[in-house]
Structure 1
């Protein structure tokens, strides 16, 4: 993203006599240019924290030009152009217009944005960060003339005026305020997770109005995991099986920076979060996010005791795979990467034994990644060597259900079996249009 920053400071030419004549305390043109460039650079960093590129850049599209399809319960919408193009982007937005769209979900012309845009989270962004983001999108992003595409939502659900009432009911206005009794790092982590990071947009269950059930740690559902667009976003609380309870602070910081650790690897939508956002966090912000997340009490478990590894029963099944349909598929397609012992070769190849995604009650992510594979994790410009391939064209619904049921029962995982009908449903929804 840095290669999109303009060299504003280099474009300024200032003669030494003007420096000598400047009144005491006045900003010279060079100083003002440096300040502007610093603001643009800060905005670039904040745009990475907000993962703006992941949603506003379509595959093989130009940065921030929009066009990415996004499925919602009402139908498919297409993310908008947020480059500074005056005709099709946000080039005509004032800073106040930009702030209103970002924090209140109202475009310059007055129409309401769908809450797929995480403005309930961005409402917590402070004025200084809004100013820096505006500077970046106006002066650090190349304008692209690309018209926005209308949503594929049928009448009457495509009417936007009811969103005014949605905002009245569910939008909490006002930037984040530090919680008393918490230190600087905790509050910084809370600000990033709840605000720019908008983690709750994916990881918090939604209510009947498509609103997040909780916007911070005061709500018991906050970050307890949620189904969204064919993926189950993981539990980020301290729950010991499906959450982060068994992860150390170092485990979590490693995952945020690289997308993999000894417990799990990022896949699906989380891959783009790692690629476009969290790996760019500086050390202080990574530590702050980890501190905040590790402070969240356990929520969403099924009451099972903490996971302990037990390979014996699974080893017996794999020794005689002919007796188990899932074991047969596992030995043919999975074992070489994930191991006979289910421990994989972390962090290169994800473990399946004790993996929170495997233990989750909802198997959607496992079905989706088995059908469709996942994109490359790209850390510091280097793609991961062993991305998960898709098996939709190789395995039928029953075979996928069998192998996932085998994995979810294996190595003492103790998770529910997967039905072929669940696989068929996700196959249909995720393969449509491919």
Structure 2
């Protein structure tokens, strides 16, 4: 998204917003620059040990229902994604969110009174979640999607607070503080941004009783905060409400257009198809979730009820179509299997200098064992086809580059989806920037939207962006 010249304050806010693929989930969900994907923390449950009971407990049946509701809200809001570092204890914080102004470190939100939110009153909790103001009055950075959470109902915030305070195990761990460079380190400057940005309006009533469309809207705009990643931003870095879900850059990743456009969005998808994708992270002949979206699926959408998944899908599929300046053909409509690839029909040739390897040779050496010499993938599509694939069919190569660099590690009730990252193994780089550029151009020209003329410099930029 082209960025106009901004005052330093706006640039600092952009740095915090524009590079935070972690906020949704989408957010989406959290994306980390790692050589291999980390073991994801378990989805939140209502069975973790509880601290001492409140002095005036609710009736047992009401308390149990409240805890169950709170656990579900926490899952739908994908709290665990940002507040858990790789391999860490759920909700204990410590996740590093890199920005050009420094690293934002997620906080401990367990009920530990010294290191977490144990001293928060419900009103103070609400101020943080829906208004971006923490207990000491300081402003939170908008990598915390309070702009979306502002739309939550009082009842759901109450349930979320009760669950965190009485079902999440306190963890006496203090993450390192966030230290940003000036002027981003002046938290009070966020007051100006909060004044001009558009926030969701709080919903009323019992969200569990909403009709399908209202429930779907509530899930999309408030809890799952889809727009945080998938909506482009204006010069003040607020979401463009008139371009809702039309696609936006997340730094290294790109959250695609998911409006009802049949050429630029997902207007050709069925409701059942989108539900399958949200539950499993894959839809054969269309897409597979990786990066921030893979984490959003793993931690959040795969745990929603069928009723909620259908409500969410139905709402998203009726969002007004927005056409893309670059995408003029459905991303999943490109390509076909390659018959008798040249590399398998020609006499083998010796390559003494590996830097001379071209796209087909790089593909054959690193990818064909799983994706097939013709790009059709495995029979069960565990290794997906490279044609009829939204990542390869996009005219934006960012997500394909990032998937090759960092791989896929997605777990849902449907099973595990894995692919090694080819950016590096430990401290040993597997494929260079130039090799990945050649591979991406070959894949997109052979199975997707066409040779996008990706350069080694472009790959290097994305390699460093996370």
TM over 0.5: yes
**What is the TM-score normalised by the length of structure 2?**
0.79
Retained in 1: the 8 A contact 2:278–2:309?
Answer: yes
Q: Shift of residue 171 of structure 1?
A: 4.0
Structure 1 residues 415 and 136, CA gap change in structure 2 (3 angstroms): farther
What does residue 431 of structure 2 align with?
395
| Count, aligned residues | 402
What does residue 310 of structure 2 align with?
287
What does residue 105 of structure 1 align with?
132
Retained in 2: the 8 A contact 1:72–1:229?
Answer: no
Residue 227 (structure 1) aligned with residue 257 (structure 2): no
Structure 1 residues 401 and 30, CA gap change in structure 2 (3 angstroms): closer
Q: Shift of residue 311 of structure 1?
A: 3.5
From 28, 42, 45, the equivalent of 1:2 is 45
What does residue 453 of structure 2 align with?
417
What does residue 334 of structure 1 align with?
367
Deviates more, 1:147-156 or 1:259-268: 147-156
What does residue 16 of structure 1 align with?
none
Residue 133 (structure 1) aligned with residue 156 (structure 2): no
CA distance in structure 2 between the partners assigned to 1:42 and 1:261 by the alignment: 29
Retained in 1: the 8 A contact 2:259–2:316?
Answer: yes
Specify the SS of the correspondent of 2:180.
coil
1:104-183 matched pairs, under 5 angstroms: 104-172=131-199, 174-176=201-203
Q: Shift of residue 241 of structure 1?
A: 5.0
Structure 1, unaligned runs of 5 or more: 13-28
Residue 78 (structure 1) aligned with residue 101 (structure 2): no
CA distance in structure 1 between the partners assigned to 2:87 and 2:373 by the alignment: 38
What does residue 226 of structure 2 align with?
199
Deviates more, 1:234-243 or 1:60-69: 234-243
Q: Shift of residue 335 of structure 1?
A: 2.0
Q: Shift of residue 320 of structure 1?
A: 5.9
Q: Shift of residue 310 of structure 1?
A: 4.7
1:339-388: CA deviation from partner (whole Å, max 9, x where unpaired)? 344332364122221322223333222112212223x221239533x434
CA distance in structure 2 between the partners assigned to 1:409 and 1:133 by the alignment: 48
CA distance in structure 2 between the partners assigned to 1:112 and 1:192 by the alignment: 25
1:257-336 matched pairs, under 5 angstroms: 257-262=279-284, 263-301=286-324, 302=326, 304-306=328-330, 308-311=333-336, 325-336=358-369
CA distance in structure 2 between the partners assigned to 1:273 and 1:50 by the alignment: 10
CA distance in structure 2 between the partners assigned to 1:304 and 1:160 by the alignment: 42
> For the aligned residues, what is the CA RMSD?
2.8
CA distance in structure 1 between the partners assigned to 2:105 and 2:76 by the alignment: 22
Specify the SS of the correspondent of 1:142.
coil
1:92-144: CA deviation from partner (whole Å, max 9, x where unpaired)? 11111111111100011100000010000000001110110011011010111
CA distance in structure 1 between the partners assigned to 2:458 and 2:323 by the alignment: 22
Q: Shift of residue 239 of structure 1?
A: 3.3
Retained in 2: the 8 A contact 1:242–1:357?
Answer: no
Retained in 1: the 8 A contact 2:407–2:421?
Answer: yes
Q: Comparing both chains, which one has the higher relative contact order based on Cα–Cα distances under 8 Å and sequence gaps of 6 or more?
A: 2
Specify the SS of the correspondent of 1:377.
strand
What does residue 24 of structure 1 align with?
none
CA distance in structure 1 between the partners assigned to 2:227 and 2:342 by the alignment: 40
What does residue 256 of structure 1 align with?
278
Residue 68 (structure 1) aligned with residue 68 (structure 2): no
What does residue 357 of structure 1 align with?
391
CA distance in structure 1 between the partners assigned to 2:246 and 2:420 by the alignment: 25
Structure 1 residues 303 and 67, CA gap change in structure 2 (3 angstroms): closer
CA distance in structure 2 between the partners assigned to 1:246 and 1:171 by the alignment: 30
What does residue 443 of structure 2 align with?
407
Structure 2, unaligned runs of 5 or more: 1-43, 350-355
Specify the SS of the correspondent of 2:282.
coil
Specify the SS of the correspondent of 1:91.
coil
Specify the SS of the correspondent of 1:378.
strand
Retained in 2: the 8 A contact 1:40–1:140?
Answer: yes
Q: Shift of residue 30 of structure 1?
A: 9.4
Larger Rg computed on CA atoms:
1
